[in-house]
Chain A
Amino acid sequence: MTKENHPVRTSRPKRKTQEMYLNIGPSHPAMHGIIRIITELEGETVKKAEIEIGYLHRAFEKDSEQVSWNGVMPYTDRLNYVSPLINNFGYCMAVEKLMGLQVPERGLYIRTIMSEISRLVDHLTCVGASAMELGAFTAFLYLMQIRDELYELIEDVTGARITNSFGRVGGVRADLTADFIPKSREKFKTAHRLIKEVDKLLTNNRIFYDRTRGIGIISAEDAQDWGITGPWLRSTGVAHDLREAEPYMMYDRVQFDIPYGEYGDNYDRYMVRMEEMRQSLRICEQCFDQIGEGSLSADIPPEYMESADLVDTAKSMKTAGLIDKEAALCPNLRGQEKHQIAAVSAASKASTLPPKAQCYSNIEGLMNHFMLVMDNWGVRPPMGEAYAAIEAPNGELGFYVVSDGRGKPYRVRCHPPCFPIMNALADVLQDGMVADIIATFGSVNMIGGELDR
């Protein structure tokens, strides 16, 4: 091509630009849980975002109406499956409020300890996953290591790693195991150490800081307008925590600080979560000091006998001294001996299952058990309604229960803490960059189970 016939560009041709639509999810690696974000992009800027939820709707509220009051417990596990114990206790508190039940002190201590371990697990998962999405894989591995150790701790007491179903209306399922407290103290040392490591890795990390500081900002007024609670609200500078505002369980007997942020951005939320983890460990350690030996050491150690032998002896009329003997329980009923159940559950025949030993060895216990597990008998709160709120890792988790006086809930409504946050998310993402969607979404700690129920 000669120089003469080469087209000389005098001015740039006018480019036609148009918005681009980008669909993120429902199955996307960084969308932990399934959710769909439809974005309208102008270059790399998000002009508009629309969020679609409901992909994990599995009818918690409808299912609750089909089962007994205690039968709802496994379903509550699967609401926020990262901290199921808090969901258990939140639901229990609503029913107890309706029935006017008082849980014994030791039961409340156990609830407090288990709640805080759960909160720890939840924050570990959230911080770890959101750091991983920003490329910090080591932090994720460290945090998951503590999480697994804590799962083992929970498994020791509840019998399950994740879906614990440990709460019962009027108390908890079983007492702590004998070696729980020393074991926990040991594991908490690891937790302290690894949280410190992660703190060193992330907090002053230039890349992490730049990716999170000033991103995903929400103001305190906006947050309250949307109905947001929990770390998201605290990051905006409102130091509101239900554990302090409306103390439940044993939170009025322990000391803890409420971290709050300044700018309401992703970095503040990360900092709030990190500090809350340390506070959770602190609360647990105080509870360990206060809870004491309790029922772990009965005054007179009971004399155990195989339940079959117990029945045979009674049948052959050798009943002398038999009343002092207790039926030996199989290992998965550990923590449910007579003196232990009394210490952790409300003394109410209308709500608490009798100790298994009694159920195996005498007719009153058997009948009491039978009445409680029969369809449409069992726990029957009086007609009415109650709303109980609990500070879940994401904010206020509320249960609104309605009873018609029968053995099944008439209505169980769960107020999920991440629902209002997701509601506000479209606004928060707007005018941000497309790469920051992941960072902001990670800080929501969206849990599909409780969002969609």
Chain B
Amino acid sequence: MGLRKTVTGIFGQESFVTTRLDSAIGWARKYSLFLYPFVTACCGMEYMSISCAHYDLDRFGAALPRFSPRQADVLMVVGTISHKIAPVLHRIYEQMTEPKWVVAFGVCTCTGGFYDNYATVQGIDTIIPVDIYIPGCPPNPHTFLQGLMMLQEKIQKQKQEY
């Protein structure tokens, strides 16, 4: 029996796509984000809503939470960071493998918010580098989705290391 292969579609015999390797990797990376939710406080409630069916984080390829920092790409710091938990956050950041990004979710993580007191870290950027700041107390799901898209754009545009 003979078998003749037919090739159709855009990746057919005659068709090809050219791109820079950087941009191809960026495209792959931005749509396959593994999040590490470092959930501490109120913002976690919004984060729950976002990751469930109503707002559906899956549409952005970012729904799968990884609870091991070694497998995660994006550290989502969700909620107030107190001085007691700060070393833990720092350690988790250190444990993550490159490439990694950090999202400050909610105003407490951005600046400390209205908790200007003895217990609270005044913005996590005093401890670890932050890529995207999402303000709000807590941020509306739509604000978060916008933030996520901004992060994806950033990932796409950056110089990829591999």
A residues neighboring B (CB under 8 Å): 26-29, 32-34, 54-59, 62-63, 74-75, 77-78, 81-82, 125, 129, 140-141, 144-145, 147-148, 151, 161-163, 448-449, 452
Q: What are 27 A-B contacts defined by CB distance under 8 Å?
A: A26-B88, A27-B88, A29-B67, A33-B41, A54-B82, A54-B84, A55-B84, A55-B85, A58-B41, A58-B80, A59-B119, A59-B120, A62-B118, A63-B114, A82-B45, A141-B52, A144-B52, A144-B54, A145-B53, A148-B52, A151-B49, A161-B46, A161-B49, A161-B138, A162-B138, A163-B138, A448-B40
- Given A141-B53, A144-B53, answer yes or no on A34-B118 (Cβ-Cβ < 8 Å): no
Q: From the candidates B49, B82, B115, B117, name the one contacting A55 in the complex (CB within 8 A).
A: B82
Q: A151 — which chain B residues lie within 8 A by C-beta?
A: 49
Give Cα distance in the complex from A224 to B46, angstroms: 34
Report the minimum CB–CB distance from B51 to chain A (whole Å): 9
By the criterion CB–CB under 8 Å, are A147 and B82 in contact? Answer: no
Give Cα distance in the complex from A58 to B117, angstroms: 7
Chain A proximity mask over B23-58: 1 for CB below 8 Å, otherwise 0: 000000000000000111110111011001111000
By the criterion CB–CB under 8 Å, are A58 and B46 in contact? Answer: no
Give Cα distance in the complex from A140 to B53, angstroms: 10
8 A-B pairs closest in CB distance: A81-B42, A144-B52, A29-B67, A59-B117, A148-B54, A55-B85, A59-B119, A58-B115
B residues neighboring A (CB under 8 Å): 38-42, 44-46, 48-49, 52-55, 65, 67, 79-80, 82, 84-85, 88-89, 92, 114-115, 117-120, 137-138, 140
Interface of B is mostly: loop
Give Cα distance in the complex from A92 to B3, angstroms: 81
By the criterion CB–CB under 8 Å, are B137 and A163 in contact? Answer: yes
Give Cα distance in the complex from A32 to B38, angstroms: 10
By the criterion CB–CB under 8 Å, are B84 and A148 in contact? Answer: no
Give Cα distance in the complex from A27 to B96, angstroms: 14
Q: A145 — which chain B residues lie within 8 A by C-beta?
A: 52-54
Report the minimum CB–CB distance from A51 to chain B (whole Å): 14
Q: B53 — which chain A residues lie within 8 A by C-beta?
A: 141, 144-145
By the criterion CB–CB under 8 Å, are B41 and A448 in contact? Answer: yes
Q: A63 — which chain B residues lie within 8 A by C-beta?
A: 114-115, 117
Q: Who on chain B is nearest to A31 by CB?
A: B39
Give Cα distance in the complex from A129 to B85, angstroms: 23
Give Cα distance in the complex from A125 to B45, angstroms: 9
Q: Who on chain B is nearest to A25 by CB?
A: B88
By the criterion CB–CB under 8 Å, are B49 and A56 in contact? Answer: no
Give Cα distance in the complex from A383 to B92, angstroms: 48
Give Cα distance in the complex from A74 to B118, angstroms: 18
By the criterion CB–CB under 8 Å, are B48 and A125 in contact? Answer: yes
Q: From the candidates A54, A55, A129, name the one contacting B40 in the complex (CB within 8 A).
A: A55
Give Cα distance in the complex from A147 to B141, angstroms: 14
Give Cα distance in the complex from A141 to B53, angstroms: 7
Q: A448 — which chain B residues lie within 8 A by C-beta?
A: 40-41
By the criterion CB–CB under 8 Å, are A56 and B46 in contact? Answer: no
Interface hub of B42, B82, B138 (most chain A Cβ within 10 A): B42
Q: B89 — which chain A residues lie within 8 A by C-beta?
A: 27
Give Cα distance in the complex from A450 to B119, angstroms: 15
Q: B84 — which chain A residues lie within 8 A by C-beta?
A: 54-55, 57
Q: Who on chain B is nearest to A54 by CB?
A: B84
